[in-house]
Amino acid sequence: MNAPILVTGASGLVGRALVARLAEEKQSLRLVSRTPGRLAAREGIGTVGWDGRELAASALAGAEAVVHLAGEPIFGGLPTRARRERMWTSRVDSTRNLVRRIGSLAASERPRVLISASAVGYYGDRGEAELDEAAEPGSGFLANLCVAWEEEAQRAREHGLRVARLRFAVVLSRGGGALPLLARAFRAGLGGRLGSGRQWFPWVHLADAVGLVRLALEDARADGAINVVAPGVLRNAGFTREVARAVHRPALLPAPAFAVRLALRDLASEFLGSRRVVPARARALAYRFAQPELGPALAAELS
């Protein structure tokens, strides 16, 4: 049996799809969960419990790679102080502790690579600027969170690991995340652009989110920041039109910017802000997108 890949966040949207893909390829897996008993028992798949912050060094020993996807959902409820603290702890603190545990292992027992999730929120609200992986970070809660998150992941280099920091855009899938909620709203006649609709809105199909994780696992050149975003980025108004077309409903009810700010407070900029993010590193690594354009991507999930 090959050395296992350890996956945190294995019950999340990207985690579930990644595990299914790796299991099909007969990859040995070690899945980390707060509720390991809920994970399906399959040959070649082990499970490990944790509290979302601290993982025993023994769980990491002998793993070939670590894919760290765990984190409190950004848009899983109102942005209360308690939720913001959980967002921070579940990402920054968990990554710090994970890297510390890796460092405590003998060199022969350490993973060779850490694939750590991040988000395109790293860039903040940047207007019309085209944002590749070399762009500076922005400002705001999510940008600050992503910077701190990535800094902790980077420390794994001190222990000899290759580190890839995957900056995920909104992941589109019928199986969870934002798309089912959007589709229900549009089918009920409640869909529409947010604010002016001119802000750039990065997205990626689930197949490509998984595909870029796989690339980062396999390709030694996949080092540093990688934007996990489709090349067909478009403005919020264009995104809205495509969703409306996919569900055969009009987009009638634009959400005024003040209403979004009132509801989401310091997370409002994550919807109203503009991020023209491009997949420069994916292109340089010759990654072939399964769903590069929004229309076909939505049709695949909503038809």
- pLDDT tens figures, 282-299: 999 999 999 999 999 999
- Largest Cα separation within the chain, whole Å, is 60
DSSP state of 200: E
Residue 37 pLDDT > 80, yes or no?
no
Q: Rounded to whole angstroms, how far apart are CA atoms 233 and 21?
A: 26
H/E stretch holding 114 reads strand 113-119
Residue 41 pLDDT > 70, yes or no?
no
Domains of the chain and any CATH numbers? 5-170+203-230+275-289 (3.40.50.720)
Instruction: Specify the range with the lowest mean pLDDT, choosing from 78-82, 99-103, 116-120, 152-156.
Output: 78-82
Q: Rounded to whole angstroms, how far apart are CA atoms 32 and 35?
A: 9
The pLDDT of residue 256: 57
The pLDDT of residue 75: 66
Residue of 64, 72, 76 lying closest to 22 (CA atoms):
64
Q: Rounded to whole angstroms, how far apart are CA atoms 155 and 152?
A: 5
Q: Distance of alpha carbon 237 from its chain centroid, rounded?
A: 23
Q: Rounded to whole angstroms, how far apart are CA atoms 45 and 215?
A: 21
Q: Is the dihedral of CA 281, 26, 73, 271 positive or negative?
A: positive
Give residue for tokens 């998984």.
210
Contact 111, 171 (CB under 8 A): no
pLDDT confidence of 55, banded at 50, 70, 90? very high
SS3 31: strand
